[in-house]
Structure 1
Amino acid sequence: MFNPQNCIGDNQPDEMSLFWQKGQFEFFSGTDGVNIHYAQFIQEKEEYLTIVIVPGRCESYLKYQELAFNLYCQGYSIFIIDHRGQGLSGRMLQNPNKGYVTKFQDYVDDLKYFIENIVMPQSLEKPYLLAHSMGGTIATRYMQDCPNAIKAAVISSPMLGFYSAFLPSSLAKMLVAIKLKFNNIISKTPWYFFGQKNYAPKGFTENKLTHSTERYHSFVNLYQKNKTIQLGGVTTHWLAQSIKAQKELFAKMTQLKTPILLLQAGSDTIVCQQAQDDFCQQLHTLRPQSCPNGLPIRIDNAFHELFFETNELRNKAITQSLAWFKQHN
């Protein structure tokens, strides 16, 4: 039997396995009838608080075993959603490798249903949100649509803008618009964007997600063993929808009432750090309880996936998150 007292300190694979076995794994019918899968781990004690984990693009709740275990051991009930088009949830295209969503708002509406109909009936109070990357955009848009639903939120490496390297952002967006228009004229099938392709894992030395060899190989092996959760690159349509969502997020900044902490990975080359800085500055001006001092909490030298980084960097992200939640208990 799983004993929460045994998970204090270093993680034990046997304890994590026992913990995972006590989870409930279900699905509901989301927008347009797409099956949305989720995992839940409910505390057995009478009083507990709840954290909803909102993963990033390509991710499945299967990848979040260690983090769910850590947070559960801190006394929280845990709920994790698999977004449409990825993880164990339903895909919308004939090629399941293509990163696609009909409308970005579909992600938001799925999360809304999940929290209102599955999380809240099993929670004693309003939940916390812990969201990563694309999940940060989804969660923030959700909090704009439902400003009083969440007690406090942490958004880690949120996808508030795309990292376009040496290409100006305006030119990158123009390329997306041109290719999407051409795609729609020529074919009804969404195309990959330039350089995108079917699932093909990179070697550790090529990855820009984490410095942890152990955690990187762990989730690469997970995806190789579970072909259902494999996902390739993004379609031009997905990019266009995401750019539209990012624009809408900034336009509706005044609708955010939830206290939000933004964790920024210092060496992130997946998403745009300037967009995160702008978000914090604007939000703190409107809501001083969010983004203390108008800045992200920056974790220097960390790659994009803070909760899958080396222990030193990962522990900083978890400590900051838990402190934020306790501050807003």
Structure 2
Amino acid sequence: MERAPIFEEIARAPEGGAAYWLTAEDGVRIRFAHWPAPPQPRGTVFLGCGRTEYVEKYGPAAAEFAARGYAMLAIDWRGQGLADRLLPDAPEKGHVGGLQDYQWDLHAVIDAADELGLPQPYYIVGHSMGGAIALRAVMHEHHRFSAVAFSAPMWGIATSPLLHPFRIVLANLLGDGFLANNYPPGMNGTTYVYRDSFEANRLTRDPGMWAWLLEQAAKRPELTLAGPTIHWVAESLLECEALAALPSPDLPCYCGLGGAEKIVHTPSVHDRMGRWPKGTLDVIPDAEHELMMEIPATRKRFYDGCTALFDAAGGLDARDPVKAESA
């Protein structure tokens, strides 16, 4: 592993973080970062970011998990952050060959965590697109995770009611057509936080968090990503459809979902969690898409829900976060 840059000045992360370059099995270079384990660590949380995101965005999450006894790492998936961009002539576009390609990235990070001796057991938290990646991962019979948590998982994409019944037909027709590398209608080359005002945004109700995301984009524009390609949307719809046909894994699960969610298809989340025998769905009133960037009460509820699950899965008693930090 080779050390990679990590932009501590925008990360709001615990001290001592380190980032590394990794090469996935198919030759794509990705980046991941981890932060030191707290005393008497209870395990390591793998944070699977959503589309457009990057490791520095989850510095505060590392602090929250550390306060509850857990080390954390975050991943720049292929095509975003400082990982290899997959359209060299248009690196600002969100693009991937297929959604299952992200599994190569996750496998590389698991191997790196083993090599670094990060504390076990391992747990995974998947946000939005990362929720589809995490779900695919834990459906593999030889996965490495003791429990899984989700934040607004992308198990379906919110589309207009008129288009929704035809989404798979359209995905098959357009995903590899001559417009496949173009933006879908309504998307463009501007990153999301510059396209919408705080009042109109669909991510968070917290003005401080919104201002911080703007600051990150201004100081480190190389981390940002614009809209997805038609191909990315098509591949995502097809992966969501494939995942929906599979039974839920025999694994403890906590899923947080905002009551005001507008980005992922919420009926798909309710359907999946309704058939997950060891799963709990926590619908947080009025919360928007990014629970870890939401108002403080929502953030606390989400992190507490995750770590209560992880504590139980690890055979541990839940303890007060302040005590965990100083144990």
- The alignment's TM-score, normalised by the length of structure 2, stands at 0.86
- Unaligned residue ranges in structure 2 (runs of 5+): 1-7, 315-327
Q: Find the counterpart in structure 1 of residue 65 from structure 2.
A: 71
The one of 195, 204, 216 aligned to 2:198: 204
Q: Find the counterpart in structure 1 of residue 52 from structure 2.
A: 58
C-alpha contact (below 8 Å) 1:148/1:257 kept by paired residues: no
Is residue 97 from structure 1 mapped to residue 92 from structure 2 by the alignment? yes
Identity %, equivalent residues: 26
**2:256 & 2:143 partners in 1: Cα distance?**
22
**2:284 & 2:175 partners in 1: Cα distance?**
36
Deviations 1:263-283 (A, max 9, x none): 111100000110001101222
Other structure's SS at 1:102 match: coil
Structure ranking higher in helix proportion = 1
Q: Find the counterpart in structure 1 of residue 173 from structure 2.
A: 178
Q: Find the counterpart in structure 2 of residue 279 from structure 1.
A: 272
**1:314 & 1:45 partners in 2: Cα distance?**
23
Deviation at 1:46, TM superposition (A): 5.5
Q: Find the counterpart in structure 1 of residue 324 from structure 2.
A: none
* Poorly superposed stretches of 4+, deviation over 4 Å: none
| Superposition pairs of residues 132-143 of structure 1, within 5 angstroms | 132-143=127-138
**1:124 & 1:232 partners in 2: Cα distance?**
35
- CA RMSD between the two structures: 2.2
**1:61 & 1:72 partners in 2: Cα distance?**
16
**1:325 & 1:220 partners in 2: Cα distance?**
32
Shift in alpha-carbon separation, 1:193–1:31, aligned structure 2, 3 A: farther
Task: Read off the aligned partner of 2:159 and give its amino acid letter.
Answer: S
| Superposition pairs of residues 1-329 of structure 1, within 5 angstroms | 20-43=14-37, 45=39, 47-93=41-87, 94-119=89-114, 121-183=116-178, 190-200=181-191, 201=194, 202-253=196-247, 256-284=249-277, 290-292=278-280, 296-329=281-314
- Unaligned residue ranges in structure 1 (runs of 5+): 1-12, 285-289
Give the paired residue count.
302
**1:321 & 1:47 partners in 2: Cα distance?**
15
Other structure's SS at 1:249 match: helix
C-alpha contact (below 8 Å) 1:79/1:119 kept by paired residues: no
Other structure's SS at 1:298 match: strand
C-alpha contact (below 8 Å) 1:267/1:301 kept by paired residues: yes
Other structure's SS at 1:130 match: strand
**1:100 & 1:190 partners in 2: Cα distance?**
8
C-alpha contact (below 8 Å) 1:31/1:106 kept by paired residues: no
Other structure's SS at 1:160 match: coil
C-alpha contact (below 8 Å) 2:181/2:229 kept by paired residues: yes
